[in-house]
Amino acid sequence: FAADQQMKSLSSVLPFYQGFHGEKGGVKNRYGANGAYLYVKVPVGTLVKEDGKVVADLTQHGEEYVAAYGGAGGKGNRFFLSNENRSPTTFTPGEPGQERVLHLELKTTAHAGLVGFPNAGKSSLLRAISRARPAVAAYPFTTLNPHIGIVRYHDYEQVAVADIPGLIKGAHQNRGLGMAFLRHIERCRFLLYVVDLSVSQPWIQLEDLKYELEQYQKGLSERPCVVIGNKIDLAQSRINLPLLKEHIADRVIALSALTGDNLEELLFCLRELYDAYVKTEQSLGQSPMKW
């Protein structure tokens, strides 16, 4: 398997692959050729599992994992040369390749993850700050698969933002498509919680979201974050905004993905979170993820 940044899903991976057998040996000291390489391109962030255990985690572009070894070439006649047999004519056939049953699982790799309940406006927000075009509609679970949008800055830095499909209460118990959604958040370096400011007590949304993340994986809710209060263009949202700020300690950015109000503050904060991530990785002697 070869991780390729151009691959965005596992849809092109076939359920069965057959490599090449080693070729038979021959006379005149001809050894058989080994089985040729067969590469299967997979997206960055692909987990390879065997019997439920992770055997490879392809998180970098160009990273490779040998899923199965091809057949060795056969031995030529010279291999059977001896004092008793000075002109051997014997050779061996090539050997078959290795057989394995592996399971592939994709965990979306992005710098930031948009986390929120259905209809909070995550997809609309991603469309507003990037060229990604996830579906937007006035009903829950419009987004069924993660979408990644790239936010580009004037100094050519690029920040990848993933639209994680809407969570529901009990997602950590696999309600709805909980586990399928939550696993993508593991790869995100920082989180953007999107809450609907127009509903009653919007801070309850944030508490529920953090609870689901923490129940799924301890420490997941403690990653660097900012709270996005969406739909500030509505009258009820402007009333709820000061109440939200009173109830939570996290930074709050009030905006409207629909009208574009205050998107500049979000883009500035997103760059701050990204720069902090890069600085932390470099201080640890590691290479930050680049897009």
Cα–Cα distance measured from residue 52 to residue 104, given in angstroms and rounded to the nearest whole number: 11
Residue among 61, 59, 13, 56 nearest 38 (CA): 13
Low-confidence ranges of the chain (pLDDT < 50): 136-144, 171-172, 174, 176-178
Cα–Cα distance measured from residue 132 to residue 123, given in angstroms and rounded to the nearest whole number: 9
- Per-residue pLDDT reduced to its tens digit, 95-138: 677 889 999 988 777 899 999 888 888 889 999 999 876 654 44
- Per-residue pLDDT reduced to its tens digit, 135-180: 544 434 444 467 888 999 999 999 999 888 766 565 445 454 445 6
For 109-284, CATH gives 3.40.50.300
What stretches of the chain show up as alpha helix (H) in DSSP? Answer: 122-129, 178-185, 203-216, 235-247, 263-283
Domain ranges of the chain: 1-107, 109-284
Q: Exposed, middle or buried, 37 (CB in 10 Å: 0-12/13-18/19+)?
A: exposed
Which fold does the domain 1-107 belong to in CATH?
A: Spo0b-associated Gtp-binding Protein; Chain: A, (2.70.210)
